[in-house]
C-alpha cells in the first residue's frame, strides 16, 4: 500500500523519484527548436528569443508562444516531422529500464506539448513509455479551426506563470512531504525551460555545455554535470547504492565548471 499522499509518483512509496526535462535532455535535439528552425521563423530569431529569456528581457512563455505561432503546418504533420527526425539519447532506454526495476518513478516535466512528447516517447521507448507520467503544456485548435489544418493550432499553457509551465508547481508538493516518506528528488535538464525547476530538487543534473549550466553558476545553484544518460545512470546508481551522497554530487558541478570542464568558458 503506497503512502496516501495523492501524489501520482508516490503510489509505490519510492525512495527516489527522477524528474526530467524532455527536449534536449531525453532527446538529443530540442523538438520545439527543430520545428521553429525548420518550419517556423528560423534559427537566428529563435536563438535570440532564448537569450532574451536567459537574460530576463522576455518571459519563456512569451518567447515560446512567438516561436510556436511562427509554425503554420497542420499538427499531425508536425508530429510526423518530429517522429521522423528527433532521436533519443541512446542511453535513456537503459536508464528507464533500470528505473522500472528499482521502483524509481520517472516524471517528465516539459514546456513542450503533451501529444508530441507522448508520440516521440512511444516511437522511441515503446509501450513501457506509458508508465512515465508526463506533465507538459498542450495544444488546442484556434477559434473556428481544426488542429489538422494549416494555421489551425496554438500552444496552450499548463499554468498562468511566465514560464508557461512552472515546473516548481509539480515539484514542490513532493519536496514538502513529511521527512519519513519524502523521496530523494533528482532533476535533469539542459536549458531555459528548466529555470523554474532548478532550485527545487536534491540533485540537479545539468547538461554539459548548455544554458542551464551558466544559469546555475550565475544563481549559485548546486548541480552536477551530465553528458548523456549513461553518466546520469552511473551517478544515480552510486547514490542509490549509498556510494556517493547527493550533497557531494551537487558540489561537483561548480568545481568542474571552474576547472573548465563544463563545456563553457568560466567567467573571470
Q: Chain-centre distance of CA 54, in angstroms?
A: 16
CB of 39 to Mg ion, least distance (A): 19
Give residues with Cβ within 8 angstroms of 7, minimum separation 6.
Answer: 173, 174, 177
Options 14-22, 61-69, 97-105, 259-267: segment touching Mg ion (CB under 5 A): 14-22
23 is catalytic: yes
Nearer of residues 10 and 206 to Mg ion, judged by Cβ: 206
Least Å distance between CB 149 and Mg ion? 29
How far apart CA 224 and CA 188 sit, in angstroms, is 9
What is residue 253's three-state secondary structure?
Answer: helix
Nearer to Mg ion, 129 or 244 (CB): 129
Active site residue 89: no
* CB-CB contact of 190 with 206 (8 Å): yes
Contacts (Cβ under 8 Å, ≥6 apart) of 57: none
Q: Is 21 in the site for Mg ion (CB under 5 A)?
A: yes
C-alpha torsion sign, points 197, 207, 213, 114: negative
Q: Pick between residue 5 and residue 29 the one whose CB is nearest to Mg ion.
A: 29
Catalytic residue among 21, 30, 166, 194: 21
Task: Select from 17-25, 82-90, 237-245, 257-265 the region that touches Mg ion (CB under 5 A).
Answer: 17-25
Phi, psi for 137 (deg, rounded to 5): -80, 180
* Of the residues 10, 20, 24, 244, which one makes contact with Mg ion according to CB under 5 A: 24
Candidate list 14, 40, 112, 191; residue touching Mg ion; CB under 5 A: 191
In the complex, the smallest distance separating the C-beta of residue 211 from Mg ion, rounded to whole angstroms, is 9
Q: How far is the CB of 97 from Mg ion (least distance, A)?
A: 22
Helix or strand or coil: residue 22?
Answer: coil
- Number of Cβ within 10 Å of residue 112's Cβ equals 27
User: Which residues in this chain contact Mg ion in the complex, by CB under 5 A?
Assistant: 21, 23-24, 190-191
Amino acid at each position: 500500500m503506497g503512502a496516501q499522499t495523492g501524489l501520482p509518483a508516490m503510489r509505490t512509496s519510492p525512495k527516489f523519484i527522477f524528474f526530467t526535462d524532455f527536449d534536449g535532455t531525453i532527446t538529443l535535439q530540442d523538438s520545439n527548436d527543430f520545428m521553429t528552425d525548420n518550419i517556423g521563423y528560423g534559427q537566428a530569431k529563435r536563438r535570440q528569443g532564448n537569450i532574451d529569456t536567459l537574460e530576463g528581457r522576455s518571459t519563456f512563455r512569451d518567447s515560446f508562444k512567438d516561436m510556436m505561432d511562427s509554425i503554420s503546418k497542420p499538427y499531425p504533420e508536425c508530429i510526423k516531422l518530429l517522429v521522423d527526425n528527433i532521436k533519443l539519447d541512446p542511453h535513456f532506454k537503459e536508464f528507464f529500464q533500470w528505473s522500472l526495476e528499482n521502483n524509481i518513478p520517472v516524471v517528465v516535466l516539459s514546456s513542450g506539448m503533451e501529444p508530441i512528447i507522448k508520440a516521440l516517447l512511444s516511437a522511441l521507448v515503446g509501450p513501457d513509455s506509458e508508465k512515465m507520467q508526463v506533465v507538459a503544456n498542450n495544444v488546442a485548435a484556434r477559434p473556428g479551426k481544426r488542429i489538422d489544418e494549416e494555421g489551425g493550432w496554438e500552444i496552450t499553457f499548463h499554468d498562468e506563470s511566465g514560464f508557461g509551465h512552472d515546473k516548481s508547481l509539480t515539484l514542490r508538493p513532493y519536496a514538502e512531504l513529511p521527512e519519513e516518506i519524502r523521496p530523494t528528488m533528482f532533476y535533469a535538464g539542459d536549458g531555459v525551460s528548466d529555470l523554474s525547476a532548478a532550485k527545487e530538487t536534491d540533485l540537479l543534473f545539468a547538461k554539459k555545455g548548455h544554458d542551464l549550466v551558466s544559469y546555475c553558476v550565475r544563481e549559485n545553484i548546486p548541480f552536477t554535470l551530465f553528458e548523456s544518460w549513461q553518466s546520469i545512470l552511473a551517478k544515480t546508481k552510486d547514490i542509490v547504492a549509498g556510494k556517493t551522497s547527493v550533497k557531494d554530487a551537487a558540489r561537483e558541478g561548480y568545481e568542474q565548471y571552474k576547472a573548465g570542464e563544463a563545456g563553457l568558458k568560466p567567467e573571470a
